[in-house]
Amino acid sequence: VISFARGAPAPECLAVELIAACARDAVERDGTTVLSYGPVGGYAPLREWIADRHAVDPKRVLLTNGSLQGVQFLLELLLSHGPALVEAPTYDRPLKQLAWHASDVETMPVDEEGLDVDALDSYLEHGRMPGLVYTIPTFQNPSGRTLSLERRRRLAQHAVDGLLVLEDDPYGLVRYEGEALPSIFELANGTNVIYSSSFSKTISPGLRVGYFVLPEELATRVEEIAVSTYITPALLSQATVMEFIRQGHFEPNLERIRGLLKVRRDAMLAALERELGGRATWSRPEGGYFLWIDLPVDTGALLARAEAMGVTFVRGSDFFYDGGGERSARLAFSFASPSEIDEGISVLSALLRA
């Protein structure tokens, strides 16, 4: 199977030998700490490293077993205050969490420049206040789109004025070209912005190390849920990440990952241009794992036919809370090899001609 469905790194992205050595070194350096229960906020040296990067007190950093778990905690806490405002399209798993919570959900459109902040303005002008705005401003899952600087500034201003924003940013460092933009968290000086990221895309998703930078009062409340859920998050994984950083592997490994994924992104863009130029439109992300394609057909039906030919993707409608995306799809270029990408796009093209 050629998978454009999996939001996973290509196997070559995983620095297996280095991570193995770092796991051993972590146990040897700090075994009695990392093999026991510990603070619910996570492994102290890694909390401090993250706190330093975001210029906050380590008390505001909470490490979780992957960042998705922290999203779950936040939804539990915050949605009694008002609806969740999410992008359309957005990452499908938080949508599922919202459905389990039977939460009130409102959606805001996303265009070429990311979240439509005009739509947010008019929502707020009607005197409504959501419990939380969930946004993925950089190389968004699923669209690959990035919120422009002007819109970032406007969203940050809303946060400063009292709107609580969850900025989910696992892909920001996985940039292949172009200038990095400031986070909403930075632009709002941390006021009312919860920043979340993860080492899933920069080191390894199997380690399950995600993190949140929270306002202090909220950090304490999230910790109360976390401690009753798992006592302590997986310290050995966190210490392995810290060892990886301490030994100087983080930046070179990230550069290597960027190289491996850029080749895949380029292969997908080239194959799309060759096979589907003039017949479809797609986003051109400067980083991340995904691109978004709009097609002239129903992508649910196309997916069934593609799977029979050994190619998978995720249909666009999975990323909408209340309908949409029926003629769109998310194509992940992160996992398949460049030659598989080339072949898979040819298969999709042949199916579209048939």
Ligand X SMILES: Cc1ncc(COP(=O)(O)O)c(C=O)c1O
Q: Which stretch binds ligand X (CB under 6 A): 29-37, 66-74, 219-227, 270-278?
A: 66-74
Task: For 14-58, give the DSSP string.
Answer: S-HHHHHHHHHHHHHHHHHHHTS---TT--HHHHHHHHHHTTS-G
Is 136 a residue that touches ligand X (CB under 6 A)? Answer: yes
Q: Which stretch binds ligand X (CB under 6 A): 62-70, 146-154, 264-272, 293-301?
A: 62-70
Contact by Cβ (8 Å): 212, 195: yes
Contact by Cβ (8 Å): 164, 131: yes
Minimal distance, residue 305 CB to ligand X, in Å = 26
Instruction: Map the footprint of ligand X across residues 79-108, applying CB under 6 A.
Output: 91
Minimal distance, residue 296 CB to ligand X, in Å = 27
Contact by Cβ (8 Å): 62, 71: no
Question: Which residue from 33, 107, 192, 200 is in contact with ligand X, where contact means CB under 6 A?
Answer: 200
Burial grade of 192 (CB within 10 A; 0-12, 13-18, 19 or more): buried
Nearest to 193 by CA among 225, 155, 231, 244: 155
Is 320 a residue that touches ligand X (CB under 6 A)? Answer: no
Q: Alpha-carbon distance 326 to 62, whole Å?
A: 37
Minimal distance, residue 38 CB to ligand X, in Å = 20
In the bound state, the residue with its beta carbon closest to ligand X is 66
Minimal distance, residue 9 CB to ligand X, in Å = 10
Question: Which residue from 87, 92, 168, 340 is in contact with ligand X, where contact means CB under 6 A?
Answer: 168
Is 42 a residue that touches ligand X (CB under 6 A)? Answer: no
Q: Which stretch binds ligand X (CB under 6 A): 54-62, 63-71, 239-247, 305-313?
A: 63-71
Which residues of this protein are in contact with ligand X, per CB under 6 A?
7, 66-68, 91, 136, 141, 168, 170, 198, 200, 205, 210
